[in-house]
Amino acid sequence: MVDAVGKSVSPPGGLECEVGLLYRMHAQGLYRYAGLLNPDGGAAQDALQEAFLRYCKARSQGRTITNPKAWLFRVLRNLSLDAVKASGARPEVALDRVPERCARGADPESAYHRAELLAQARAALAPRELECIRLRAEGMPYEEIAEVLEISIGTVSALVTRAHKKLQGVLASEGRTAHFRLMPQGSPYAP
């Protein structure tokens, strides 16, 4: 909006509209990302709210934020890592929660097996590799991922490639091991 003098003025409630739009667009993705950094769901929600509040404060103090999405993800990341550090918890997903839902494929045995392997693959990934593929899944280009993690674009690319290699290494045994699992214990054909 522009007034008579040509100076830019924000419309009444402009900031609330802006924040409302950003919240609807990114809250879900930010929450997923916070859940990755801090498995405590309550803490993830707190971090999400605090990131948006900080955004409101910064904007109402007149700061310009050129890329709100990357800004929010970066602030959320720092808040979550601080909270994890303060609580002394480990920022890794508990492995005992793992194969609870695995609807892929008609064969429950191989679906269960895939879920198990995915959990193994996930455990094999370094936290930053996991963060990269999470942010990638949120539709971020490498430039934005680099901005959030405060690393170079080349490093983002290396992390994604390495994550995929690890994933392949674990999932390569998918068909074969599923077969072995069906055999009775002590079978002479077992490896």
Nearer to another protein, 152 or 168 (CB): 168
Least spacing, CB of residue 181 vs another protein, in Å: 18
Nearer to another protein, 5 or 106 (CB): 106
Nearer to another protein, 81 or 160 (CB): 160
Contact between residue 45 and residue 27 where contact means Cβ atoms under 8 Å apart: no
Of residues 160, 130, 135, the one with CA closest to residue 145: 135
Question: Phi and psi of 2, rounded to 5°?
Answer: -130, 130
Tokens coding 123: 């455990």
Using DSSP, state whether 90 is helix, strand or coil: coil
Nearer to another protein, 49 or 187 (CB): 49
Using DSSP, state whether 91 is helix, strand or coil: coil
What are residue 2's DSSP bridge partners? 8
Contact between residue 133 and residue 160 where contact means Cβ atoms under 8 Å apart: yes
Least spacing, CB of residue 189 vs another protein, in Å: 29
Residues interacting with another protein, by CB under 8 A?
A: 15-16, 19-20, 23-24, 27-28, 31-32, 35-36, 41, 45, 48-49, 52-53, 56-57, 60, 93, 97-101, 104, 114-115, 118-119, 121-122, 125, 130, 133-134, 136-137, 141-142, 157, 160-161, 163-165, 167-168, 171
